[in-house]
Amino acid sequence: MRILFIGDVIGRSGRTIVNARLPGLIAEWKLDLVVVNGENSAGGFGITEVIYNELIDAGADAVTLGNHAWDQREALVFIERAPRLIRPVNYPKGTPGRGAALVETKNGKHALVINAMGRVFMDALDDPFAAVERELAACALKVSADAIVLDMHCEATSEKQSMGYFVDGRVSLMVGTHTHCPTADHRIMPGRTAFVSDVGMTGDFESVIGMTKDEPLNRFLRKVPGGKFEPASGPATLCAIAVETDDASGLASKVGAVRLGGILEEARPKFWE
């Protein structure tokens, strides 16, 4: 199975490049499963139903969230009628929506997509390790799912790496999101799970983690908020991770970084060229 996970989409700039490039990438690379992190897609904070449908129409098979899941209050309502919108699985019992979804892939197979949120330097939530363990026990790789993708949304690299080893050999891809800065440690772990500490953002990198530079600089220099954070609106870089799995095991056989457009150095998975 060919999997593409697209990192945190930031505002209009990020949405524009996803809408422009994703349909062509699906055709060119013969993608079977596309997952997009959309928690910053609405003005940099949260997601709306219109934007969720826009990402699905562009070719996403699932959209994951994170700590900004509810910044657009409508998400608390429309998530119940959006079966492929996935919020962190370790939110407390009774939180609207779902933390995992079994979705049909473009080649007619089934993939489990899980979203978890870390607790180091983040909001206090339930234990993400225990929550992920419950999902894997209920829907094991090659028993109930042909592939499993885990989006670990958190601040600390150590927490993401620990989750990677925790699920190694049991999921196809463990991808870190949230920090918006792509790391160079993508690899296949000993148990054949593809891993990257942070896939990076899909947004304008002439910015401070996707936001226009003036307000973050003002807060660092003067310690006084001067206004709202606004997403940068220049040409975006699409940051993603490409994974190919072995059909027999559902585990990773190839992994590569993807960076397209904008100001970052381009990267493409050579094994799909």
Active site residues per annotation: 68
Q: What gap in Å lies between CA 100 and CA 174, rounded to an integer?
A: 14
